């Protein structure tokens, strides 16, 4: 193949989704190029994931960094267009719904390079979410929409995307989870960070939850009430730290605030928790497979399958403490059934679709 498959990754969820795809294509001798946009640039938010997941070192790191949505997306567009013109890929593969995903899809489409979107068709139907805007636009630009759950195919059809562009392949993030399951050691995490044996794990980073000081203060107050019942361990995302610190997150002896964790440590933390409190899409999926009760502090989710087939529940801040209390007394089934095709083989299925498209191209 004269031109490579080019993978664009920019934020930590992208790395877990991409690793099985890169591995499956490498096993079939496909030439590939990995571009890290640098949207997440902290060592604990990006570089460590390449080592832990066995991903090849990026061929290029664009070093775009943070900024407002317009500033960041504009910088990504400029840098990615230059990269695509230089490397001339036959296919650009994008992951998830971050700004890097949108910028890569738009730059590639303008250059008439086919785009494959891994995790296509997810919808929260909440256009106040930047991720929802990104998802919808990327799917319209993509020649291949690689779908992780069945309802996503209907969402794509409702938006006029031809059914032949949609492929139900399963969830590559779950491939990564299952491949590393033996490495997720809750005891090692507790010992390293001096954590109690019984705790809830919490992650908060959505703008709707942490950007407004009043909303952040309300959530912190609820976390303190949870900590009256069970200790709470909070690895704090860099974008959340200023408002959560200002809201007094550390002001309860039962709240343990950590810096961002590596993938292996974070999943080890979640695996040992009595519950997860989150606004993260990925955590909703991971807890579904691990069988950990998940309380999602959002009014909606683009992953409803984690509710119908998993352990996830949407809660408001006012619901949080009663929900934790119920979780502590009524644990979930020990072995929940996984959603369809969340079986650790999404990477090879995606590779099949990509190779078929490259052959046609």
Query: Which residues does 361 contact at the CB level (< 8 Å), separation at least 6?
Result: 90, 91, 114
The token pair that represents 258 in the structure block: 């950590």
Backbone angles phi, psi at 68, to 5 degrees: -65, 165
What is the distance between the alpha carbons of residues 299 and 314, in angstroms, rounded to a whole number? 7
Query: Which residues does 124 contact at the CB level (< 8 Å), separation at least 6?
Result: 131, 132, 300, 301, 302
Q: Is position 309 annotated as part of the catalytic site?
A: no
Q: What is the largest CA-CA distance in the chain?
A: 61
Among 69, 205, 237, 256, the active-site one is: 205
Active site residues: 205
């Amino acid at each position: 193949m004269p031109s490579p498959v080019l993978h664009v990754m920019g934020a930590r969820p992208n790395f877990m989704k991409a690793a099985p795809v890169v591995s499956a294509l490498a096993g079939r001798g496909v030439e590939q190029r990995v571009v890290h946009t640098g949207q997440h640039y902290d060592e604990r938010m990006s570089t460590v994931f390449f080592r832990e997941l066995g991903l090849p070192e990026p061929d290029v790191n664009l070093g775009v960094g943070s900024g407002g949505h317009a500033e960041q997306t504009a910088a990504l567009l400029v840098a990615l267009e230059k990269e695509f013109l230089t490397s001339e890929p036959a296919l650009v593969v994008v992951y998830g719904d971050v700004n890097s995903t949108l910028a890569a899809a738009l730059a590639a489409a303008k250059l008439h390079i086919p785009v494959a979107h891994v995790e296509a068709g997810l919808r929260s139907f909440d256009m106040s979410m930047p991720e929802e805007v990104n998802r919808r636009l990327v799917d319209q630009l993509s020649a291949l929409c690689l779908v992780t759950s069945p309802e996503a195919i209907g969402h794509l059809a409702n938006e006029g995307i031809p059914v032949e562009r949609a492929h139900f392949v399963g969830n590559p993030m779950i491939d990564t989870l299952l491949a590393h399951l033996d490495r997720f050691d809750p005891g090692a995490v507790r010992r390293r960070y001096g954590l109690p044996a019984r705790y809830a794990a919490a992650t908060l980073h959505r703008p709707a939850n942490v950007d407004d000081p009043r909303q952040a203060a309300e959530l912190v107050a609820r976390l303190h009430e949870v900590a009256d019942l069970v200790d709470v361990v909070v690895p704090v995302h860099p974008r959340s730290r200023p408002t959560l610190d200002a809201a007094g997150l550390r002001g309860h002896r039962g709240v343990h605030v950590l810096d961002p964790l590596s993938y292996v440590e974070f999943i080890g933390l979640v695996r040992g928790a009595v519950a997860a409190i989150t606004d993260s899409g990925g955590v909703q999926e991971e807890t579904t497979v691990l069988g950990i009760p998940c309380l999602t502090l959002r009014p909606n989710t683009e992953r409803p399958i984690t509710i119908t087939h998993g352990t996830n529940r949407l809660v408001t801040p006012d619901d949080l403490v009663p929900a934790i209390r119920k979780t502590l007394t009524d644990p979930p089934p020990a072995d929940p059934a996984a959603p369809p095709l969340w079986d650790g083989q999404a990477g090879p299925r995606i590779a099949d679709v990509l190779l078929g498209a490259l052959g046609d191209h």
